A and B are shown apart, each in its own frame.
Chain A
Amino acid sequence: MALLEVRGLVKHFLGVTAVDRVDLAVEPGELVSLIGPNGSGKTTLFNCVTGYLPADGGRILFRGHDLAHVAPHRVARLGLARTFQQVSVFARLSALENLLVFLQQHQEERLLARLVRTRRLRRLEEEAVERARRLLDLVGLGARADAAAGSLSYGQRKLLAFAGALMSDPELLLLDEPAAAVNPTMIEQMKEHILALHRQGKTVLLVEHNMDVVMDISERVVVLDHGQKIAEGPPEAIRRDPRVVEAYFGR
């Protein structure tokens, strides 16, 4: 059974159909890319899947749960992590604290236990700090652990947000344009990170504009145009698909 299955998803904005009966399935361990020209509905689809927008029709199944009307924080707790297109961090928390936020809710969410700080909670906190430091080292931010996230550079914040999504070891990772607006060196780094996740058996769904990244790393590519799925297949086939070429370059 697919890890994520989207069937006939529909989303309207004031009469504009942003997502038009899209089917999409992601199998466990796959690395799938979602591409399409600006305004083709990629991010809207992401937002519907993660509970940020209510879908107007269709079904979204994740590990057997129907996500149609589930709030974002509940989707996250089911093991579906996402990043945002705009660089998104908790500006006044330190880099380390930013990562800790992403794990604590999965470890323990009783409010009162947090106030009394039981021994169990302190142990969980130590584990979380250890994991956060490892991830900071992984993305090369180990030395900036105590810096306020708002003081990091654009690229560093992007890496921090990426590390945040990894904190809870999610079943499925939705990455919204991880390589947008960063320099070529960092694009290479990002590619390596995503490929490393893939080798570890993680499931990744990627929205990306950068064709080099998409064609280099994806196993399968899904193409949207005007809210509709126009093509799906391995990268080589997509590159030659006349409908895709037309959608991007016109006739």
Chain B
Amino acid sequence: MRRATAVALGALVVAAPWVIAAAVPRQQRYVLHVLVFTALFAALALSYDLVVGHVGSLSLAHPAFFGIGAYTAAILATAAGWPFLADLLAAALLAAVVAALVGVPLFRLTEHAFAVGTLGLAVVAGIVANNWVEVTRGPLCITGIPKPRLGGLAITTLPGYYWLALGALAAVALLYRGLTTFRLGRAFHAVRDNEPLASSAGIDPLKYRLLAFTVGAGLAGAVGALYAHYLSVMCPEEMTIGLTVNLLVIVFLGGVGSLRGVLVGAVLFTALPEVLRLAPTWRLVIYGLLLLVVVVRSPEGLDSLLRRLGARVGR
């Protein structure tokens, strides 16, 4: 992308609340709500891609870490009255600690067994959220989660929350970039591409897998906290396996292992279905067809497919 285009796009994204207010005044709230979701899902998908895209471990446990973060923040903010930034930090830390603890035994499993093991973790986390009623209130949900406050600034309006989500996305994207480029990224990719060979280069595969898994989980926990504060309600349904399906679609259809690809995926599969008002039943059918087409025609994802089409049109 040209620099000027990038700057223009960035400005448009930051100014979105005003642009939307001017363009579709009657639907401003709805469109902004979709954009908040898009930003949060993009951040969550990036944290997921650290694991599946960069160290190549197909984890299905991400809803568990998202849920741990969301519940931690929700409970601390309501029952203990913690301030927003403190419960956000606690949410990220707890999710990361759980990931580090379960990661050691999980990474002893090879590929498919690892996927099943992480799936087990996600299922168990869902059961706990539903049944540990004293703490999570189970299906009654935790309600009345306060709006976030940053210092003296209360974030109560929708544009305010949009900018908060955008800032969170920018922070996650920055960290994602730092982790996946240069020497650290190279070590991740070496482990992903060929584990025995990486060992022969002096790289400890377990250490790098655990690092990506733990950081990914911590970021998922932080996104969970933002999500709970935004909705002000946290229910067990928010952390089902359906979330994994969404993340898989975003990451693999957008472009696995690529910042741009994941962002494109998040926009395509969070914002577009909402805007196009797709019926939920048809959405899954369309996702299934798209997955097939993309996996067969462009395994690197829609981002690279769009770029190739763009290059052909440009010629």
User: Quick one: which of A37-93 are within 8 Å of B by CB?
Assistant: 50-52, 71-73, 76-77, 81-82, 84, 88-93
Chain A residues contacting B178 (CB-CB under 8 Å) are 115
- The answer for the CA separation of A114 and B181 in the assembled complex, in Å, is 10
Chain A residues contacting B199 (CB-CB under 8 Å) are 51-52, 71-73, 76
* Residue B200, interface by CB 8 Å: yes
- The answer for the CA separation of A44 and B205 in the assembled complex, in Å, is 22
- The answer for the CA separation of A121 and B178 in the assembled complex, in Å, is 14
Of A99-107, A198-206, A213-221, A240-248, the segment with at least 4 beta carbons within 8 Å of chain B is: A99-107
Min CB distance, A88 to chain B, in Å?
5
Min CB distance, B218 to chain A, in Å?
14
Chain A residues contacting B203 (CB-CB under 8 Å) are 73, 101, 105
Q: Do residues A104 and B186 form an inter-chain contact, with CB atoms below 8 A? A: yes
* Residue B193, interface by CB 8 Å: yes
Q: Do residues A91 and B194 form an inter-chain contact, with CB atoms below 8 A? A: yes
Chain B residues contacting A111 (CB-CB under 8 Å) are 184, 211
Given the known interface contacts A73-B204, A104-B187, the answer about A114 and B182 at a Cβ–Cβ threshold of 8 Å is yes
Chain A residues contacting B182 (CB-CB under 8 Å) are 114, 117, 125
* Residue A228, interface by CB 8 Å: no
- Count B interface residues, CB 8 Å: 23
Chain A residues contacting B268 (CB-CB under 8 Å) are none
Q: Do residues A101 and B190 form an inter-chain contact, with CB atoms below 8 A? A: yes
* Residue B196, interface by CB 8 Å: yes
Chain B residues contacting A72 (CB-CB under 8 Å) are 196, 199-200
**Majority-rule SS of B interface residues:** helix
Given the known interface contacts A76-B200, A76-B201, the answer about A93 and B190 at a Cβ–Cβ threshold of 8 Å is yes
Q: Do residues A82 and B183 form an inter-chain contact, with CB atoms below 8 A? A: no
Chain B residues contacting A108 (CB-CB under 8 Å) are 183
Min CB distance, A44 to chain B, in Å?
15
Chain B residues contacting A114 (CB-CB under 8 Å) are 182-184
Q: Do residues B189 and A73 form an inter-chain contact, with CB atoms below 8 A? A: no
Given the known interface contacts A76-B201, A106-B202, the answer about A101 and B187 at a Cβ–Cβ threshold of 8 Å is yes
**Chain A interface (Cβ < 8 Å from any Cβ of B):** 50-52, 71-73, 76-77, 81-82, 84, 88-93, 97, 100-102, 104-106, 108-109, 111, 114-115, 117, 121, 125, 161, 164-165, 168
A-B contact pairs, 24 of them (CB 8 A): A50-B200, A72-B196, A72-B200, A73-B198, A73-B200, A73-B201, A76-B202, A77-B202, A82-B200, A91-B193, A92-B193, A100-B183, A101-B186, A101-B198, A104-B186, A105-B201, A105-B203, A111-B184, A114-B182, A114-B183, A114-B184, A115-B178, A125-B182, A161-B197
